[in-house]
Chains A and B, each alone.
Chain A
Amino acid sequence: DQQVKQNSPSLSVQEGRISILNCDYTNSMFDYFLWYKKYPAEGPTFLISISSIKDKNEDGRFTVFLNKSAKHLSLHIVPSQPGDSAVYFCAASDSGGSNYKLTFGKGTLLTVNP
């Protein structure tokens, strides 16, 4: 059972426009969320995170929004750049659990066209 879902396998946007990557989760115990970016032939790298006590976290061009009632989070990249082209993974965790671990989605391939 997929507890973290990224329903869009791919997304294509024009350079300079906004990229919006979506993620849904089913486990109501999840309270800490992260986004990772992965280039081909490289390991994932941490991008941004958000705790459930917030509904927004911003870091430069990257903003993550969390809607707890909808069990939905999104990553906004503004403005998008060709170098942002990568696979983006959403991850979630239950910080109160006895065995903390990250549960990842299947990823969304973002392509930013020049």
Chain B
Amino acid sequence: KAGVTQTPRYLIKTRGQQVTLSCSPISGHRSVSWYQQTPGQGLQFLFEYFSETQRNKGNFPGRFSGRQFSNSRSEMNVSTLELGDSALYLCASSLAPQEPGNTIYFGEGSWLTVV
């Protein structure tokens, strides 16, 4: 079955712009979480959505937001882009909310470059 699909894979934006990234989870998975990966900070948790509700949130400014639709697809939005937002944004899905023993499956990520 298809894995986690993220679009777009690569994009370049200018400082001050906003960006929307999309994630389609594995069929049947209802939990979607987002992570930011940068060389200096590794993988950092952004937020998790389950059944269209934000279940958990990491330590990121309010410029980072997300939502989940009734079909479990999720989008994340970053407004007023800064150079430091350049990163690989990873989406992960799981059947149920994240909990021990519940494996999460990552997509290939969306590479965002802010210039």
Chain A residues near B (Cβ < 8 Å): 6, 32, 36, 41-46, 49, 51, 89, 91, 93, 95, 99-107
Contact = CB atoms under 8 A, between A and B. Distances in A.
A89 B33 CA distance: 17
B49 interface: no
Given A104-B44, A106-B42, A51 B98 contact: no
Contacts, number: 59
B107 interface: yes
Interface in B87-115: 90, 92, 97-101, 103-109
A93 B100 contact: yes
Interface of B: 4, 33, 35, 40-45, 48, 55-56, 58, 90, 92, 97-101, 103-109
Contacts of B43: 44, 89, 91, 104, 107
B4 A43 contact: yes
Chain A interface SS verdict (over half): loop
A61 to B, nearest CB: 19
A46 B100 contact: no
